[in-house]
Structure 1
Amino acid sequence: MPENIASENAAPQSLTDAPARTVLADAEPAIALGPLDGRYRAAVAPLVDHLSEAALNRERLHVEVEWLITLCDGVPGVTDGAVVPGAPGLCDAERAYLRAIVTDFDADGVAELKEIERTTVHDVKAIEYFIKRRIERAPEVLGETVLTGVGELVHFACTSEDINNLSYALMVQGGVTKVWAPAATALADQLAGMARDSADVPLLSRTHGQPATPTTIGKELAVLAHRLRRQLRRIAGAEYLGKLNGATGTYGAHTVAVPGVDWPAVSRHFVEGLGLTWNPLTTQIESHDWQAEVYADVARFNRILHNLATDVWTYISLGFFTQIPVAGATGSSTMPHKVNPIRFENAEANLEISCALLDTLSATLVTSRLQRDLTDSTTQRNIGPAFGHSLLAIDNVARGLKALNVNEALLAEDLDANWEVLGEPIQSAMRAASVAGVPGMENPYERLKDLTRGHRLTGDEMREFVAGLGLPDDVTARLQALTPGTYTGIAARLVADHLA
């Protein structure tokens, strides 16, 4: 048989016999495993300065350096001179040199710290040795300096959790107040602006998915903006707690090493000096209750935003909002006419992931076996992803809202096709007239139910019905002038009065 014929008739190559693929895990630069550090990096990158592993180590350096400075310089009103007797007071140049360990911490520092940790197999101990290396090099920059004699005050009387709890508090505080909250606030403000712009644009409500009392687009958006802002106020009032009190919260090492010092007062001064709230009673760990509180509020914000995303998605599907096409963008790989509401769908998914992580953080972190276990250590390393997915959703919703137009013509058509919704004000007017003594107003609800339920009415039919009720002339005129599009109550005023 000719060779080419034999080849054509050969069995197809098995997938297991396919050529070996390039190992992507070995690629340089490293390929991200998760989407936040890959596909969506640009949207969440600002959180890296606060909620990444490198940010954790930078805050650890910050806490250790400031503790060292405090031990040397003392606490006004609490100690006479240094906290630890014999520790030298520092000059401005020495303080600046120590603080530069934090401000200059960069990619090279990250790599060096990682190299130290390979030996220590302990992340906080690696921080201590990193700082001691810098102290040993101080004469190269400062010349003669007292820093060469303070190396053993680095991490003095501290357990790792003294450093970690303060570092995480600073990280979360920074991530929330400097990145997440500004983005969330901008989104709420954007939504509020849309609400004001469309405050008087009538919209047929749908309760239980059925045509109901008309409202306005602006009033419905205002409800969501108001809800989001309320959660933001709660988050703005959050406490970020910290402690520095030793291995089991008793100041045991402190009081044995240096008796006679008011260590709780020193601890309070130090924690509050970092911009945190001092927690006076803890085990080895700060109890993390404040974290659970913050995460619960952020998760609630997420869920309200999820409600916004699903409502807007529904309005888009009904045609009430049209999406502004982006030049060159593809809505569907096969249906050229489509502009999919992907921003809101992406937001839904990321909000759900964020809430799942935040809920887990809240539930896990408030429990620690006896005086200490390490479940919180791994758990807290997921704070960044929890906020990252929320920030990504905020970004998507903001972009999605910016690309919307209100389809006022379709809204008007929808209202004009549902005159039966005026059954509510008419039967209410009949009830009021009955109380005022107008005869013939019996069973108003039942009469309107018979007229409207399961029936489509025209404006003429509704006006004819009103004319035959025997209402006072002014009430009849008011009801006959009413349309579904004008039956919006004081919706526009509510937006103006309550949504600054």
Structure 2
Amino acid sequence: MNLTPLNAISPIDGRYRSKIAELANYFSEEALIKYRVRVEIEYFIALCEIPLPQLADFDASNFTHLRKIYQDFTSNDAQQIKDIEKITNHDVKAAEYFIKEKFDALELQKYKEFIHFGLTSQDINNTAIPLSIKEFLHAIFTPNFEELITKLKTLVTEWKDISMLARTHGQPASPTRLGKEIEVFVVRLEAQFQQLKNIPNASKFGGATGNYNAHKVAYPAINWKDFGTDFVENKLGLHHSFPTTQIEHYDHMASLFDALKRINTIIIDLDRDFWTYVSMDYFKQKIKAGEVGSSAMPHKVNPIDFENSEGNLGIANAIFEHLSAKLPISRLQRDLTDSTVLRNVGVPFGHTIIGFTSTLKGLNKLLLNKEKFEQDLENNWAVVAEAIQTILRREAYPNPYEALKGLTRTNEKINQKTMADFIDTLDVSEEIKRELKSITPSNYTGI
């Protein structure tokens, strides 16, 4: 059976495949194989640049041909490596043998034993995977995140003067402005994104147990730690973790997943707020011809995009949570649990991008129902009681809080006239009464 969107088990490879197809360039099996080949090639070139004595006569003009092995990597190449793996039962060794075959084709046989020289498979995996994550964050995650932030900033400006009734504990509270409430999310998201950018994409590179044992025994005069740091940081653009065991300790990667989880959590908070605003009729939604909101109720236009985002970001966070909790733990110098777990790293990224896309789609469908904002404010004159009692405190009026409490906690409807009549009963100057009467739910919105 060929894999199609209809028979895929995972929805990110099925129903949502079109939304995240680009992620296959970073997190598919083929992509991982390509990244491994890339690291192996760049490592061989770095050995030539030392140079090791046996590589001193290697013609540097061949570097271009070597790099083409991964730059022009095809699905057929990936399949060839998978076929080799059926014999080796080892994925990284299969990539090594594939590259050796390429060396044979380039008539570079005499140098091919320096492919994967002194390394263990984790030197390749623990550079290939952080490299794929780093490049995904740059090419896919950041543009999607910035598009969402840009939309939110546009709404901050567009709705900066829309007064709205705030609700704390679900009850009417001191009025605010719609633009400001959205700006809260912008500031929160940008703060977490800045933290995300400061987390290193860390890599282990140091041989079988992290000590360059094989390197040192073969070439004791070379400073292999400096070589490894230069290779990882200057050739691959990653952070070199040292010392390590056989594997990267994943502390930085765990920090990365936790930062991504916090970003997703903030967006879930935003999704739920906008879902609630739609339910309160603060927003209508743009209707697309032919779409159905309910199989039974023709009138419905559901806030499905915010719901879809919340669901996908929740799944992403559950997996990020497991990754960040599991990866830093390994028995003694290593066990294999990190390997199978890391093969799922693209899954939470896929659900995250789907979530971002859905939130953006939901925001773009919103139609402001200004009349409903105004109606809610007008129906809740009791919220100006805070303003009135605060001014009375300023004027040293006796027990102002208690006076307003007695007015506002009755079952009688509070409106502009009720409040004005109450103000007239106060033993304050006419000037103060005019000041108090000028306060309305629409203008009592702070700074």
Bin for the TM-score computed over the shorter chain = over 0.9
User: What residue is the counterpart of 1:493 in the other structure?
Assistant: none
User: What residue is the counterpart of 1:411 in the other structure?
Assistant: 373
Q: In the TM superposition, what is the alpha-carbon distance from 1:92 to its structure 2 partner?
A: 4.8
Q: Specify the code of the residue in structure 2 equivalent to 1:107.
A: S
Equivalences, count: 444
Counterpart contact for 1:351–1:393, Cα < 8 Å: yes
User: What residue is the counterpart of 2:443 in the other structure?
Assistant: 486
1:468 and 2:425 are equivalent in the alignment: yes
Counterpart contact for 2:118–2:207, Cα < 8 Å: yes
Give the match's secondary structure for 2:295. coil
Q: In the TM superposition, what is the alpha-carbon distance from 1:463 to its structure 2 partner?
A: 1.2
Counterpart contact for 1:73–1:90, Cα < 8 Å: no
Deviation digits for residues 291-333 of structure 1 (CA, Å, limit 9, x no counterpart): 1000000000000000000000000000001111112111111
Largest Rg, 1 or 2: 1
Counterpart contact for 1:60–1:164, Cα < 8 Å: yes
Matches of 1:365 and 1:29, distance apart in 2: 31
Counterpart contact for 1:185–1:232, Cα < 8 Å: no
Matches of 1:120 and 1:306, distance apart in 2: 45
Counterpart contact for 2:4–2:14, Cα < 8 Å: no
TM-score computed with the length of structure 1 as normaliser: 0.87
Q: Specify the code of the residue in structure 1 equivalent to 2:72.
A: D
| Structure 2: tracts of 5 or more residues without a match | none
| Structure 1: tracts of 5 or more residues without a match | 1-25, 75-81, 140-146, 435-440, 491-500
Matches within 5 A, 1:21-40: 26-27=1-2, 31-40=7-16
Matches of 1:158 and 1:218, distance apart in 2: 55
| Residues 92 and 315 of structure 1: CA distance in aligned 2, closer, same or farther (over 3 Å) | same
TM-score computed with the length of structure 2 as normaliser: 0.97
Give the match's secondary structure for 1:203. strand
- Structure 1 window deviating more from structure 2 (474-483 vs 277-286): it is 474-483
User: What residue is the counterpart of 2:71 in the other structure?
Assistant: 103
Q: In the TM superposition, what is the alpha-carbon distance from 1:29 to its structure 2 partner?
A: 5.4
Matches of 1:129 and 1:116, distance apart in 2: 8
Matches of 1:52 and 1:29, distance apart in 2: 15
Q: In the TM superposition, what is the alpha-carbon distance from 1:454 to its structure 2 partner?
A: 4.2
User: What residue is the counterpart of 2:102 in the other structure?
Assistant: 134
1:322 alignment partner, one of 262, 265, 284: 284
Counterpart contact for 2:11–2:17, Cα < 8 Å: yes
Q: In the TM superposition, what is the alpha-carbon distance from 1:89 to its structure 2 partner?
A: 4.5
Counterpart contact for 1:69–1:90, Cα < 8 Å: no
User: What residue is the counterpart of 1:452 in the other structure?
Assistant: 408
Q: Specify the code of the residue in structure 1 equivalent to 2:63.
A: R
Q: In the TM superposition, what is the alpha-carbon distance from 1:91 to its structure 2 partner?
A: 3.8
1:188 alignment partner, one of 149, 158, 180: 149
Matches of 2:57 and 2:255, distance apart in 1: 40
1:232 alignment partner, one of 193, 197, 213: 193
Deviation digits for residues 93-132 of structure 1 (CA, Å, limit 9, x no counterpart): 4111111111111211121111111111100001101101
Deviation digits for residues 400-455 of structure 1 (CA, Å, limit 9, x no counterpart): 00000111001100110000011100000110110xxxxxx111111101100143
Q: Specify the code of the residue in structure 1 equivalent to 2:169.
A: H
Q: Specify the code of the residue in structure 1 equivalent to 2:243.
A: L
Counterpart contact for 1:284–1:371, Cα < 8 Å: yes
Q: Specify the code of the residue in structure 1 equivalent to 2:26.
A: H
1:306 alignment partner, one of 260, 268, 273: 268
1:52 and 2:13 are equivalent in the alignment: no
2:307 alignment partner, one of 310, 331, 345: 345
Q: Specify the code of the residue in structure 2 equivalent to 1:324.
A: K
Matches within 5 A, 1:3-402: 26-27=1-2, 31-74=7-50, 82=51, 84-139=52-107, 147-273=108-234, 274-402=236-364
Deviation digits for residues 231-271 of structure 1 (CA, Å, limit 9, x no counterpart): 11111122011122111111110111111111111111101
Q: Specify the code of the residue in structure 2 equivalent to 1:258.
A: Y
Deviation digits for residues 352-404 of structure 1 (CA, Å, limit 9, x no counterpart): 10000000000000111110101100111111001111110000000000000
User: What residue is the counterpart of 1:16 in the other structure?
Assistant: none
Give the match's secondary structure for 1:150. helix
